[in-house]
Amino acid sequence: MQLVTTRHQGSATMPILQNLTYEKKASIAYVTINRPKFLNALSFATMVEIRSVMEDARADDAIRGVIITGAGDKAFAAGADITEIASISAVEAETFTRSGQAALDAIEHLGKPVVAAVNGLALGGGCEIALACTLRLATENAKFGQPEVKLGVIPGFGGTQRLPRLVGKGRALQIILTAEAIDAQEAHRIGLVNEVVRADRLMVRAEEILDRIAANSPLAVRLAMRAVHCGLDSDQAEGLSLESAYFSVCASSEDKREGTSAFLEKRAPRFIAR
């Protein structure tokens, strides 16, 4: 793919990035946590930057999906920056977790698919970033875990909420309470990971999935994701009502007219997200 923009350093709408690289190629935005000497540990500043690039990706109509990965070949993100956690006060801790939660909410509710390309350790906050993504791909050497109880704290970026929703209460509690990491194959078996791929195929496969999604109606993709997210936080009756409402919105859209016409005319659709 041809590089369209890179890093966005000095952008008028975004602060200079110190802990991430942010690139756009065609319809995909690439976010790389770039602290390899620290196994891409997540400082307060890193979480602020993640939220900033997610807001940029949301606002850019040319971007149809995002890939998040880690620099180097050892870690996706090996948790929070322990040097910050060690000296944090209760008031500062709440600010820290709220900032991290806001960043991960920006990922989960982007309105565009986000793929976590997990290329190594995804522990603590790194695991929580992966949980907030739409889909998770992992290399064979990836490991996942929530080791916070070893440090005398609990997951603070949504791990106690997203992990049980994804893998079930019992499995989530075992991962959180034992603080033991699981490998990629076990993560795949319990539904935490969508696919395990070779390291040299990780980014290629993530791009393939996003390209496949991008061929569909952006409006329908956005509303389908919203229906799933909102439905998980309500009972089934409320979820079905929401699904019906979003189906009706899609049914009155130009994308529906184009999609059905293209199907009947046996041609590729040209969606316009309206």
Is the per-residue pLDDT at 13 higher than 80? no
16 and 34 housed in the same domain: yes
* CATH number for the domain that contains residue 261: 1.10.12.10
Of 49, 108, 148, 265, the catalytic one is 148
Specify the length of the chain in residues: 274
Domain boundary among 214, 234, 256: 214
In a domain, 273, yes or no: no
- Which residues face 23 on adjacent strands? 6, 30
Segments forming the whole domain that contains residue 97: 3-214
199 and 243 housed in the same domain: no
117 and 252 housed in the same domain: no
Q: Which pLDDT tens digit goes with each residue over 127-161?
A: 999 999 999 999 999 999 999 999 999 999 999 99
pTM: predicted TM-score of the whole model, two decimal places: 0.90
In a domain, 249, yes or no: yes
3-state secondary structure of 117: strand
What pLDDT does 10 receive? 37
In a domain, 272, yes or no: no
241 and 223 housed in the same domain: yes
125 and 208 housed in the same domain: yes
From 62-66, 71-75, 218-222, 258-262, the region with the lowest mean pLDDT: 258-262
> Which candidate, 104, 235, 150, 129, places its Cα nearest to that of 192?
129
Q: Report which residue type is found at 267.
A: R
What pLDDT does 6 receive? 40
Of 23, 55, 128, 195, the catalytic one is 128
210 and 225 housed in the same domain: no
In a domain, 274, yes or no: no
Above pLDDT 90, what percent of the chain? Answer: 78
133 and 196 housed in the same domain: yes
40 and 127 housed in the same domain: yes
3-state secondary structure of 192: coil
HSE-CB for 3 with a 13 A CA cutoff: 7
Annotation says 238 is catalytic: no
174 and 235 housed in the same domain: no
HSE-CB for 244 with a 13 A CA cutoff: 6
Q: Share the mean pLDDT of the chain.
A: 91
Handedness of CA 47, 167, 165, 136 (dihedral sign): positive
In a domain, 56, yes or no: yes
Domains in the chain, number? 2
148 and 58 housed in the same domain: yes
* CATH number for the domain that contains residue 101: 3.90.226.10
Q: Which pLDDT tens digit goes with each residue over 82-132?
A: 888 888 899 988 998 999 999 999 999 999 999 999 999 999 999 999 999
Annotation says 148 is catalytic: yes
In a domain, 21, yes or no: yes
In a domain, 181, yes or no: yes
In a domain, 239, yes or no: yes
State both tokens at 50: 């993640």
8 and 125 housed in the same domain: yes
The helix (run of H) or strand (run of E) holding residue 242 is helix 236-251
What pLDDT does 81 receive? 82
161 and 42 housed in the same domain: yes
Characterize 95-119 residue by residue with b for buried, 16 or more Cβ atoms within 10 angstroms of its Cβ, and e for exposed.
Answer: ebbebbbebbebbbebebbbbbbbb
Band (pLDDT 50/70/90 cuts) for residue 79 is: confident
From 26-30, 82-86, 223-227, the region with the lowest mean pLDDT: 82-86
